[in-house]
Structure 1
Amino acid sequence: MKKPNIVLIMTDQQRWDTLACLGFDHMQTPNLDRLAGSGSAFRHAYVQGAVCGPSRNCIVSGRYVHVHGAERNEEWLDAGQPNWIESLQSGGYRTVNIGKMHTAPIRLPCGFDERTVVENKNYQVGLHGPDPDDYDLELERHGLKRPALTYYRDIPDWPDRLQATTWPHAEELYPDHFIGRRCVEAIDRWEPDQPQFLWAGFVGPHDPYDVPESALARYEDVKLPPPVKSPGELESKPPPQKRFMERLERTEQPAMWCQSRATPERLDRMRRHYFANISLIDDWVGNIVKAVESKGLLDNTVFVFTSDHGDCLGDHHQIYKFSSHYDPVVRVPFIVSGPGLARNQTVDSLIELIDLGPTLLDLAGLAPLEGANGISLRSGLEGGNFPARDAVFSETGPRVMIRTLEWKLVTYIGEPYGELYDLVQDPDELRNRFDDPKAASVRAELTERLFHWFARTRMRRPA
C-alpha cells in the first residue's frame, strides 16, 4: 500500500473558537471549513504545554512536559527522545519544514531533510538566538528589518493600540505570505514516487496583530463577540494572573500591552486584527490544498490543521498565554482530512496534541513512537470509536491542569491557591470554586487524579 503524503499546517497562538464550521459565524475561514467538511473537526483538542516551546516539544516527542523536560521557550528535546519526524524520515518520507518550529538552536535539523526557518514575528538575533532566520535574510534583501522589534518605539500611540497595527511594508513581504509562497513552491517540487511530509508553520495570529490592510478590510463591518470577563474577576483568581498583567503595564518592549488602555473599542480592534490574520492564513490553506491537487496527489494526502496554543485576547481581563490555563489558551483547532478517513465529522471526544505523532505514524503504516504518552486516533478518524480518554492535561512551570468535559482544576504546585471550574454551569470559567466547600470533593478527586497521572507518566522519563 502506498504511503500517504502528509501536510501539517500549524499556526501560532490560535484559539479553538476561530473556525466558522464550529459555529463561530463572525469568522471567515472557508478553506478550513472545506477541509473540515472532508474530514474531522475536533471541539476538544488540548495542548500539553501552554507556551510555544514546551508545546511544540510535546507535539514532536508525543510526551508531556514533565516527561520530555524542555520546560521553557528556547529549549529543545535532548538527543534520544522520541521524535516522530525522524520516524517518518527513516520510514522513507522526504521531510520539509517551512516556517516556525521554535527549535533551539533555530536551525536544528529535528528530523527534516530541508528547513526554511521563520521564527516569531518579534524574533531578535542575540536575544532569542545567535543567528538570523530565513525571514530576516529575506527582509535584508529588501533593505528592511523585522518591524515588530521597533513598533513600540516607532508608533506614537502604541500603548493605546494593544499591539493592533497594520503591516508597514509591501504586502508580499508579510511573514505569513512569505511562508505560504515557500510552501506552495515546495509542493511543486514533490516527487510523486516518494512520500512527502511538509510542516507548514505559520507565525500568525501571534502578536503583534499587524495584518495588512487588505485582510482587515474583510472584517470592517463584521460584529465581533466581546471578550468574556466579569468585573473584579482577577481578585478571585490566583495572584500570578494579576501580577503578570501589572508587569506588562510597566514594560516597554515588543510585547507591550496596557490593561489600563484596554477600552472596549481598542479590544474590539485588537480582536479584529487577530481574526483577520487567521483569514489571511485560511487563504494559504486553500492555496496549499490546490497545489497538492495540481500535482494529482490530493487523493493520497493527509492534511492536518492545528495550533501550538491559544490567546486570552482580552478574556478574563488578560492577554497572551503565559499566566493561565483557560480554554482560550489551551484549547486549539484540530482538523484531520485524508484518504480513507471519515468525512464531515465533528468530534466532541477529548484529545491531546501529543496524539498527533502516533496518529500520523499509524496512518503512514509505520511503527508506533516508542516512549510516547500520546495515542493513535486512527480508528476514530476512520469512522470508528475514538480512544476513551476522560481527561486531558497541560503544564506550564509550576502550574498544572486537569480537564474533564465537566470540570477543570488548575493547581499551582507548592501554593495555597488554585482554580476549579464547573464547566457545565460555568463554561466561560468565570467563577473560581477552588475554595468552595461545596466543590471540595471534586477538588480532592481531581487532585488525586493529577497525582497519579504525574507519577505514572514520570516513570517514562529518560534518566
Structure 2
Amino acid sequence: MQQTDKPNLILIMTDQQRADTIRAHGYSHMHTPNLDRLAERAISFTRSFCSGVTCVASRSALFTGMYAHNTGVYGFNDWSHQRSWVHDLADAGYHCVNIGKMHVCPRDERLGFHERVIVENPTSRFAELGKSDDEWGRHLSLNKQNRPQDRHLTDPDWHAKHQGVPWHLDEHLHSDVFIGNSALAWIQRHRPKQPVFLQIGFTGPHEPYDPLPRHYELYKNRNVPTAVWKDGELDGKPPQHLAHQGLHYRIKHESTIDMAGASDDEMTEMRRHYYAKVTTIDEKIGEIMNALEENGYLQHAIVIFTSDHGDMLGDHRLPYKWLMYDSVVNVPLIVWDSSSQDGTRVDDLVSLMDIGPTLLEAAGVPVPPYMEGKSLLGYTQGRPPEPERYVFCEDNYLTMVRSSRYKLVHYTGQEENGELYDLQHDPHELNNLFHRSEFVAVKQELKEALLRWILRSTYRTTGYKTKSMRGPRWWPIQPPYRLH
C-alpha cells in the first residue's frame, strides 16, 4: 500500500434503509454481524437525518453539500452539472471511485469520479429511455438472464407478496452481490499510488425486497416489529398521505403495493423480507471490510456507513418514502476513524449534509463556504462540536424542520395544511398537532427556525451561484460571527 499522510476515505451507502435495522444499535430482530462489528469500533449517530426523502433529492444534496432550494433538485432532476465535493477530493490528489448506485442524473456523468461501475435500480428500464444497460444488466445478459421486470404481469400472486420475493437466480446474479463482488475485485486488483476515495452504493434494501433465500430463512419464523399505525390516523393529516396510500395501489406497475388492504400478517412478512435484504448487504459489507484491511486500505482511513433515506414499511399504513416521518428521514450513520476505535453512541442531531465536510476535513481540504454541513470528525477525536438545535429536509413541496422534541413539516403553497409532532410523547408520529391551539407557540418557533435557515442558506451559496466560489461577505462584529 502506498503510504501517504492523507487517509483513505470509504463511503458505503445503502438505498432506503431505516435507522432501526442494525442489531448493535439495539434492534435485536436484526442479523447484522458485520455492521455490528463496525459499530462496536466507531461512532454511531442515533439521530442522523437525510436531506431528501427520495433517492435523487437526498443524494444530490449530500454530494453537493447544498439543499434543494439552492440547487433546484427537489426530485428526479438532472444534477450532474453541479460541483460536488468529489471534485474537491479529486483536485486534492485523491483517486475517486464509485462502484454501484449513485443515482447521478444523467446516469453516466462522472461527477468528479475517475472510475465508475454504474448500477442503478434493478427494475430500471434503460432501453425505454434509449440508454445502454448498466454494468449489472450486462452481467445478467452475459449469463443469459434479463432484468427482473413486469412481474406484476407474469406472477398472479404478485400483489399478495407486497414486494417480498426472495431472489430467484444464482446468488452472484443478485444486484447487491454483484456490487459487493465488483468492489472486492477493485480492492484486490488496484495498486494505489495516491490516497483513495471509494464510494460503494448498494441498491438494497430498496424494493423489491428480494434477499438471498438463505438470509430470508434467518427471519422466516422470527418475531419482528410490526407496522405502527392507528385507525383513522390519516384523517387528521394532510390529504397527500391518503393519496400516497392509494396511488401506489392504483398505478399499474411492478412497484404497486396495497398498504390499505394489507393484513398485519402480510405487512410483517413484507418486513421480514426487507430485514433479510439488509442481512444480504451486511454479508457483502463484511467481505469488503476484510478485503480493505487485508490490502492495507484501513491502516490510515475514515469509513462511513449510511443510507440515502428510509422506508415506512407499512407504518401509518403507508409504503416506501416520499413523506417525512422518522421511518423515512432517520437513517443509520456510522463513522469509523482508524486513529480512534472506541465504539460510542451519540444522540446529537446530525445530517447527511455533514458527510462532505467530514471527509474534506479528514483529507485536509478546505470546506467550500457554500456547503451546509459541519464536520463530524471531532466526535472521533474527543472534541465534539456544539450540537445543532435543528435538522432540515427538503423534497418536492415538503420542508421539514426537526428539533430533538418537535417536528414541523411545511407544505409549500398549502399553508393551511401541515404536520406537527411532539416526538417526546408521540415518537411514532400518530397524532398531528398542527391545528391544535395549545401548540401555536411551538409551531411559530419552528417556522422562525425554518425562515432563519432558509435565509442564511440562500445567502451563503451566493459565491457558488455567481461562480466566484468565494463565500459571501459577513459584516464584522464582535465576537466574530459564527454560521453554526
Provide TM-score, normalisation by structure 1: 0.96
Q: Distance in 2 between matches of 1:177 and 1:234?
A: 38
Shift of 1:386: 2.8
SS of corresponding position for 2:340: coil
Q: Distance in 1 between matches of 2:260 and 2:374?
A: 44
Shift of 1:229: 0.8
Q: Distance in 2 between matches of 1:128 and 1:74?
A: 15
Judged with a 3 Å threshold, the aligned counterparts in structure 2 of structure 1 residues 345 and 174 are, in CA distance, closer, same or farther, namely: same
Larger deviation, residues 370-379 vs 389-398: 370-379
1:330 aligns with 2:335: no
SS of corresponding position for 2:302: strand
Q: Which amino acid counterpart does residue 411 of structure 1 have in structure 2?
A: H
Q: 1:243 matched to which residue of 2?
A: 243
The number of aligned residues is: 459
1:195 aligns with 2:198: no
The correspondence of residues 281-320 of structure 1 with structure 2, limited to 5 A, is 281-320=281-320
Larger deviation, residues 390-399 vs 182-191: 182-191
SS of corresponding position for 1:292: helix
The correspondence of residues 379-418 of structure 1 with structure 2, limited to 5 A, is 379-415=378-414, 416-418=416-418
SS of corresponding position for 1:299: coil
SS of corresponding position for 2:299: helix
The correspondence of residues 36-435 of structure 1 with structure 2, limited to 5 A, is 36-79=39-82, 81=83, 83-127=84-128, 130-147=131-148, 149-322=149-322, 324-341=323-340, 343-415=342-414, 416-435=416-435
Task: State whether residues 106 and 133 of structure 1, in contact with CA within 8 Å, keep that contact through their aligned partners in structure 2.
Answer: no
Task: State whether residues 70 and 77 of structure 1, in contact with CA within 8 Å, keep that contact through their aligned partners in structure 2.
Answer: no
The structure 2 residue matched to 1:24, chosen from 4, 24, 27, is: 27
Q: 2:476 matched to which residue of 1?
A: none
Deviation digits for residues 32-76 of structure 1 (CA, Å, limit 9, x no counterpart) = 111111110110111111100010001101111111221222421
SS of corresponding position for 1:366: coil
Larger deviation, residues 250-259 vs 6-15: 250-259
Q: Distance in 1 between matches of 2:269 and 2:87?
A: 42
Task: State whether residues 43 and 379 of structure 2, in contact with CA within 8 Å, keep that contact through their aligned partners in structure 1.
Answer: no
Deviation digits for residues 394-444 of structure 1 (CA, Å, limit 9, x no counterpart) = 011111100000100001012111100001111111110000111111011
Shift of 1:206: 0.1
Q: Distance in 1 between matches of 2:351 and 2:363?
A: 20
SS of corresponding position for 1:253: coil
Q: Which amino acid counterpart does residue 349 of structure 1 have in structure 2?
A: D
Q: Distance in 2 between matches of 1:379 and 1:91?
A: 22
Q: Distance in 1 between matches of 2:430 and 2:132?
A: 43
Larger deviation, residues 226-235 vs 245-254: 245-254
Judged with a 3 Å threshold, the aligned counterparts in structure 2 of structure 1 residues 151 and 386 are, in CA distance, closer, same or farther, namely: farther
Task: State whether residues 310 and 327 of structure 2, in contact with CA within 8 Å, keep that contact through their aligned partners in structure 1.
Answer: yes
Judged with a 3 Å threshold, the aligned counterparts in structure 2 of structure 1 residues 71 and 25 are, in CA distance, closer, same or farther, namely: same
Task: State whether residues 246 and 260 of structure 2, in contact with CA within 8 Å, keep that contact through their aligned partners in structure 1.
Answer: no
Larger deviation, residues 411-420 vs 65-74: 65-74
Shift of 1:105: 1.5
Larger deviation, residues 366-375 vs 216-225: 366-375
Q: Distance in 2 between matches of 1:125 and 1:61?
A: 25
Task: State whether residues 378 and 384 of structure 2, in contact with CA within 8 Å, keep that contact through their aligned partners in structure 1.
Answer: yes
SS of corresponding position for 1:44: strand
Deviation digits for residues 260-316 of structure 1 (CA, Å, limit 9, x no counterpart) = 441111111110010001011111111111101111332212211000000000001
Q: Distance in 1 between matches of 2:430 and 2:97?
A: 42
Q: Which amino acid counterpart does residue 341 of structure 1 have in structure 2?
A: S
Shift of 1:226: 0.3
Larger deviation, residues 174-183 vs 340-349: 340-349
Q: 2:453 matched to which residue of 1?
A: 453
SS of corresponding position for 1:349: strand
The structure 2 residue matched to 1:14, chosen from 8, 14, 17, is: 17
Percent sequence identity is 38
SS of corresponding position for 2:379: helix
Task: State whether residues 245 and 260 of structure 2, in contact with CA within 8 Å, keep that contact through their aligned partners in structure 1.
Answer: no
Shift of 1:377: 1.3
Q: Which amino acid counterpart does residue 16 of structure 2 have in structure 1?
A: Q
Task: State whether residues 106 and 129 of structure 1, in contact with CA within 8 Å, keep that contact through their aligned partners in structure 2.
Answer: no
Q: 2:436 matched to which residue of 1?
A: 436
Q: Distance in 1 between matches of 2:130 and 2:254?
A: 16
Task: State whether residues 43 and 343 of structure 2, in contact with CA within 8 Å, keep that contact through their aligned partners in structure 1.
Answer: yes
Task: State whether residues 80 and 106 of structure 2, in contact with CA within 8 Å, keep that contact through their aligned partners in structure 1.
Answer: no
Shift of 1:212: 2.1
SS of corresponding position for 2:177: helix
Provide TM-score, normalisation by structure 2: 0.92
Q: Distance in 2 between matches of 1:296 and 1:445?
A: 50
Root mean square deviation, CA, Å = 1.4
Deviation digits for residues 16-37 of structure 1 (CA, Å, limit 9, x no counterpart) = 1111111100011111111111
Shift of 1:387: 3.5
Q: Distance in 1 between matches of 2:382 and 2:132?
A: 46
Shift of 1:10: 0.2
Task: State whether residues 224 and 272 of structure 2, in contact with CA within 8 Å, keep that contact through their aligned partners in structure 1.
Answer: yes
SS of corresponding position for 1:156: coil
Task: State whether residues 160 and 261 of structure 1, in contact with CA within 8 Å, keep that contact through their aligned partners in structure 2.
Answer: no
Task: State whether residues 341 and 383 of structure 1, in contact with CA within 8 Å, keep that contact through their aligned partners in structure 2.
Answer: no
SS of corresponding position for 2:310: coil
In structure 1, runs of 5+ residues without a counterpart are none
Task: State whether residues 342 and 383 of structure 1, in contact with CA within 8 Å, keep that contact through their aligned partners in structure 2.
Answer: no
Q: Distance in 2 between matches of 1:260 and 1:241?
A: 12
In structure 2, runs of 5+ residues without a counterpart are 467-484
Shift of 1:191: 2.5
Shift of 1:198: 0.9
Q: Distance in 2 between matches of 1:410 and 1:125?
A: 35
SS of corresponding position for 2:348: coil
